Chains A and B, each alone.
Chain A
């Protein structure tokens, strides 16, 4: 069973700090990875996507991918209380003749004012 693993948290950081969210995956064939943010009772929204080894930055967010270690991370700089949410990591996995996204169970982030 192909899996994506995340620490459920909660990860608690003070306002203005860097929040580091981590994810590991089991399928070496996974090519694309995504971070979704989900507020309580709401649907997930895409934060970042990453496909190549290294870092990808978008505003306060940086995604990091290490395919050799099968590890994906999301850094949130200058964390704000509005960043408090559950962050879902997802990677592509082959299913029959197509692909699907495999989601982790999410890490809950709490940013303290």
Chain B
């Protein structure tokens, strides 16, 4: 079955550590996205990528980094520069730009990061 796989599902980080969240899709989608969700909040865009080897900052990119070396993969690194990283992280993909009904977002199951 096609879908998006995020790992790990739960992750604990000590202050000062970098951690990387994995996102893999087998939907042959061009665009991939990382969102952050805090309790009682909507989704905020961290980074997005429309094609391989290209990505753009979203609204809250500070303290995060990404890479897009393969179409299927879009890992997110939460660096020690992110001062409040505890949140639910969601990876999503779409066939093209999220600008029409044909390009709706498909989400992974999410990764919950907690800073100890």
Is B97's CB under 8 angstroms from A88's CB? no
Is A32's CB under 8 angstroms from B56's CB? no
In the complex, A100 has a CB within 8 A of chain B: yes
Is B101's CB under 8 angstroms from A96's CB? no
- The closest CB in chain B to the CB of A94 belongs to B99
In the complex, A51 has a CB within 8 A of chain B: yes
Contact of A88 among B43, B56, B101 (CB under 8 A): B43
Is B99's CB under 8 angstroms from A105's CB? no
Is B110's CB under 8 angstroms from A51's CB? no
> Number of contacting residues on B, CB 8 A?
24
In the complex, B48 has a CB within 8 A of chain A: yes
**Cα distance, A8 to B99, chains bound together (Å):** 26
Within 8 A of A (CB), among B97-116: 97-101, 104-105, 107-110
**Cα distance, A72 to B109, chains bound together (Å):** 27
In the complex, B50 has a CB within 8 A of chain A: yes
Question: Total contacts A to B, CB within 8 angstroms?
Answer: 64
A-B pairs with beta carbons under 8 Å apart, 24 shown: A6-B42, A8-B40, A32-B99, A34-B104, A42-B110, A43-B90, A43-B109, A43-B110, A44-B43, A44-B90, A44-B105, A44-B107, A46-B105, A88-B43, A98-B97, A99-B99, A100-B45, A101-B45, A103-B43, A103-B44, A104-B42, A105-B41, A106-B40, A106-B42
Is B100's CB under 8 angstroms from A32's CB? yes
Residues from chain B with a CB closer than 8 A to the CB of A103 are 35, 42-44
Is A51's CB under 8 angstroms from B108's CB? no
Please encode chain A, from 80 to 113, with 1 for each CB lying within 8 Å of some chain B CB and 0 for all others. 0000000010101001101111011110000000
